[in-house]
Amino acid sequence: MDKIIIFDTTLRDGEQGAGSSLNVKEKLEIARQLEKLNVDVIEAGFPASSPGDFEAVQLIAKEIRKPVICALTFAQNESVDMAWEAVKGAQHPRIHIFLSSSDIHIFNQLKKSRDEILQISCDMVKRAKKYLDDIEFSPMDAARTDPAYLNKLVAAVIDAGATTVNVPDTVGYATPGDHTAMVENILHNVSNIKKAVLSVHCHNDLGMGVANSLMALKSGARQVECTINGIGERAGNASLEEIVMALETRKDFFNLETNIVTRELYKTSRLVSELTGLPIPRNKAIVGANAFRHESGIHQDGVLKKAITYEIMDPRTVGIPSSSLVMGKLSGRHAFREHLAELGYTLNDEDLNRAFASFKELADKKREVTDRDIESLIAEGMRTTSEIYHLKQIQVSCGEPGIPTATVMLVTPDGKTIVDASPGTGPVDAVYKAINRVVKMPNKLTEFTIKSVTEGIDAIGEVLIRIENDGVTYTGRGADTDIIVASAKAYMNALNRLLVTKR
């Protein structure tokens, strides 16, 4: 079988998705998990875009040793130089240069000629080549570029030193047939194409990102650029987990393979969702909550007799246990630890004790604690590991008639306990105003979303909020069987992120 290079751009293109900004620490945490997933290339960021992105790329380049660490750059001298400065500490560094190639972009946005674009592209590849050998070039909007001009540009940048040429469908316009034709055209008509790896990067504006990527690989492309959960600009990118499992499940059709450790897919998906604040749709292929759940009686009967009747993949191959213990208030610490291991979590003693205490507290409120409840508890623990202010206690009084009033007890950074109270237009508003009296950090609430983690009247409620300060958005999430408490936790989570960034 031919081996496919998996190029993960979650930390660069994925972060461009609206509302999914990551800080340096969060980017490094995801990069570590991508290394466990065994992706071949991590596009760590866009150093010229901001000082924070430069810092993140530089840190990832120094700490993540196994994959290729790639930095994206404009086709500009200063940007190329900055990309090298950010990535030069990597064990396997790469610089990725992009410049528009379609007439739509060249004439309307860049106001240049085709010849000028070709010259700039070659000059920038040569400039990067002075620093390192691994150079990738992307003619942006390749899917809408004149085929003859695209071939000429690809050949020129390879002669200039590019070792990977990526032909992106930047706006998600192409069909699988279009992508097949584009790849075959390049492979058949670019004389020096064997000196470089041909790559594709498909956006999902028409819902065909994964299909386009797979058909490009089937046609001869050997690198695919994708993101965890398909996040990214506008409607997102081709989903890494869907591409990988399609190749794995349908080897009979594609005859291709990857280096991905598939049992890490679910854990990686959950981590990215947690840190970006972007929820995973229940019906999402491979990693969605319903991907391996069966409700129909006919389906249940078939799966019980032989799983393959309605499951084309073993859920264990993507990191989801095929069966689970029923966890409740009588479960012990050992059973809890073992069940966490089945779910893919390995906690140190301190984190285990915190999670077990939360589990016991929840088990007293619920008859049965599901896997999704437990995952929510683990995520809640992750949110509290870098607290500046800690929410110790909350009490709310509300009703009609009456004035909603909240009292909160917070632990300050220096260990002091402060109690304050405030009225509000409702219980959540009162809680937030009381917190603001202690944590004096001005902000604007821009989004407030409540959802149920599990079914039933005793379900855990999860709150997602976004607050804005100085034009920057900070995401917070909180979970509890009491939705007012969950709202307070979410607000504290967002405030703590804001405070960490300010520091």
Q: Are 118 and 159 in contact (CB under 8 A)?
A: no
One domain, residues 34 and 114: yes
Domain count of the fold of the chain: 3
For the chain, how many residues are written?
503
Of the residues 337, 361, 385, the one at which a domain ends: 385
CATH code of 122's domain: 3.20.20.70
One domain, residues 359 and 478: no
One domain, residues 359 and 404: no
**Bridge partner residues of 173 (DSSP):** none
> What are 59-98's pLDDT values in tens digits?
999 999 999 999 999 999 999 999 999 999 999 999 999 9
Report which residue type is found at 360. K
> What are 373-395's pLDDT values in tens digits?
777 677 666 655 567 899 999 99
Report which residue type is found at 263. R
Q: Are 106 and 114 in contact (CB under 8 A)?
A: yes
One domain, residues 204 and 74: yes
One domain, residues 495 and 353: no
Q: Is residue 149 part of a domain?
A: yes
Q: Is residue 283 part of a domain?
A: no
Q: Is residue 305 part of a domain?
A: no
One domain, residues 394 and 249: no
Question: What are the structure tokens assigned to 53, written together?
Answer: 């992105």
Average pLDDT taken over every residue of the chain: 90
> What are 146-189's pLDDT values in tens digits?
999 999 999 999 999 999 999 999 999 999 999 999 999 999 99
Question: What are the structure tokens assigned to 365, written together?
Answer: 């409120």
Of the residues 256, 276, 296, the one at which a domain ends: 276
What are the residues whose beta carbons fall under 8 Å from the beta carbon of 26, sequence distance 6 or more? 275
Q: Is residue 303 part of a domain?
A: no
Neighbouring CB atoms inside 10 A of 253's CB total 11
pLDDT at residue 362 greater than cutoff 70? yes
Neighbouring CB atoms inside 10 A of 376's CB total 25
Most confident of 291-295, 332-336, 349-353, 363-367: 349-353
**Bridge partner residues of 8 (DSSP):** 42, 226
Q: Is residue 131 part of a domain?
A: yes
pLDDT at residue 108 greater than cutoff 60? yes
One domain, residues 70 and 172: yes
One domain, residues 407 and 378: no
User: Mean pLDDT lowest for which of 3-12, 194-203, 307-316?
Assistant: 307-316
What are the residues whose beta carbons fall under 8 Å from the beta carbon of 422, sequence distance 6 or more? 405, 406, 430, 433, 434, 436, 437
Report helix, strand or coil for 210. helix
Q: Is residue 318 part of a domain?
A: no
pLDDT at residue 488 greater than cutoff 70? yes
Report, as an integer, the average pLDDT of 200-210. 98
Higher per-residue pLDDT: 294 or 80: 80
pLDDT of residue 324: 40
- The CA distances from residue 438 to 183, 214, 390, 500, in Å, are 59, 53, 11, 17
The one-character DSSP state at 190 is: -
**Cα 152–chain centre separation:** 35
Higher per-residue pLDDT: 55 or 358: 55
User: Mean pLDDT lowest for which of 78-82, 198-202, 237-241, 352-356?
Assistant: 352-356
Report, as an integer, the average pLDDT of 443-467. 84
Name the residue with tokens 């997602």: 464
Report, as an integer, the average pLDDT of 180-204. 98
> What are 307-323's pLDDT values in tens digits?
788 889 998 999 987 64
CATH code of 443's domain: 3.30.160.270
Question: What are the structure tokens assigned to 254, written together?
Answer: 């594609």
pLDDT at residue 239 greater than cutoff 90? yes
User: Mean pLDDT lowest for which of 24-28, 219-223, 495-499?
Assistant: 495-499
pLDDT of residue 322: 60
One domain, residues 41 and 188: yes
Neighbouring CB atoms inside 10 A of 414's CB total 5
User: Mean pLDDT lowest for which of 61-75, 292-306, 358-372?
Assistant: 292-306
Angle CA 67–70–73, to nearest 5: 175
Of the residues 353, 385, 417, the one at which a domain ends: 385
**Cα–Cα distance between 427 and 31 in angstroms, integer?**
39
Q: Is residue 360 part of a domain?
A: yes
Higher per-residue pLDDT: 137 or 470: 137
One domain, residues 375 and 398: no
pLDDT of residue 414: 87
pLDDT of residue 346: 76
Report helix, strand or coil for 422. strand
**Cα 14–chain centre separation:** 6
One domain, residues 212 and 78: yes
Q: Report the sign of the C-alpha dihedral through residues 167, 170, 173, 176, in that order.
A: positive
Predicted confidence band at 328 (pLDDT cuts at 50, 70, 90)?
low
pLDDT of residue 347: 79
Q: Is residue 440 part of a domain?
A: yes
pLDDT at residue 52 greater than cutoff 80? yes
Q: Which helix or strand (DSSP H or E) is residue 444 part of?
A: strand 444-452
pLDDT of residue 356: 85
One domain, residues 139 and 187: yes
**Cα–Cα distance between 353 and 480 in angstroms, integer?**
18
- The domain containing residue 425 runs over which residues? 390-502
User: Mean pLDDT lowest for which of 82-96, 293-307, 443-457?
Assistant: 293-307
